[in-house]
Chain A
Amino acid sequence: GENVEQHPSTLSVQEGDSAVIKCTYSDSASNYFPWYKQELGKRPQLIIDIRSNVGEKKDQRIAVTLNKTAKHFSLHITETQPEDSAVYFCAAGWGAQKLVFGQGTRLTINP
């Protein structure tokens, strides 16, 4: 079955700097790759996703890139702000109506 590896497990950056979280997947049949953000004590929320027919997608300060050949995808957050502090999860899915999640990255933005 699909396996998703996420790195790093923790990441600390200065406010205003960029943060990058990387994920790799094993099943070449996966064709959509969402990212979820979970603030402390709250439920995960979808922040952005990318499909296999797209190499990059941007939404304001957030961007995702996908390399299907290498089977990895990344989340880029620019001009980080304190409210970006959270746990971020990547996931991979295909026609099986489910997602496989990575183990999460705890991002801390230092003022």
Chain B
Amino acid sequence: SQTIHQWPATLVQPVGSPLSLECTVEGTSNPNLYWYRQAAGRGLQLLFYSVGIGQISSEVPQNLSASRPQDRQFILSSKKLLLSDSGFYLCAWSVRGRPYEQYFGPGTRLTVT
């Protein structure tokens, strides 16, 4: 069966520090991969998605970036965090061609202080 992992589960970082969040999927090949941010009490904001290695589509221009170095690995990064980057970051995957059926990871709660 398929499993999606995210780490770390929680993170507290000072303003201006770098960020690296990792997501890996097991049990499937060639998945679509997604990064979402969920601010407290708010909806799901799509940040990036990828349909293949090295293929990244950015939805929101900001100080975040994403990379997909391997088929089942998706990384979210920042060189300098802002206070507004605080939130709940969710990684998700779907079968290629079935983007309506997304499976979410457990999430990373990021607090920028």
Contacts and interface: CB of A to CB of B under 8 A. Distances in A.
Interface of A: 6, 32-34, 43-46, 49, 89, 91, 93, 96-104
B46 to A, nearest CB: 6
Nearest to A103: B43
Nearest to A94: B99
B35 to A, nearest CB: 11
B49 A97 contact: yes
Interface centre among B44, B97, B101, B105 (most CB of A within 10 A): B44
B21 to A, nearest CB: 15
Contacts of B34: 98
A89 B104 contact: no
B87 interface: no
A96 B34 CA distance: 13
B34 to A, nearest CB: 7
B51 A34 contact: no
A30 B87 CA distance: 28
B51 A97 contact: yes
Interface size class of B (residues with CB under 8 A): 20 to 34
Determine the main DSSP class of A at the interface with B: strand
A64 to B, nearest CB: 12
Highest count of chain A CB atoms <10 Å: which of B43, B51, B59: B43
Contact of A34 (B57, B100, B105): B100
B110 to A, nearest CB: 15
Nearest to A45: B104
B99 A43 contact: no
Nearest to A34: B100
Interface in B63-113: 90, 96-97, 99-107
B24 interface: no
Given A98-B34, A99-B46, 12 more contacts: A43-B90, A43-B107, A45-B104, A93-B100, A97-B32, A97-B49, A97-B97, A99-B99, A99-B102, A101-B45, A103-B42, A104-B43
Given A43-B105, A97-B51, A49 B100 contact: yes
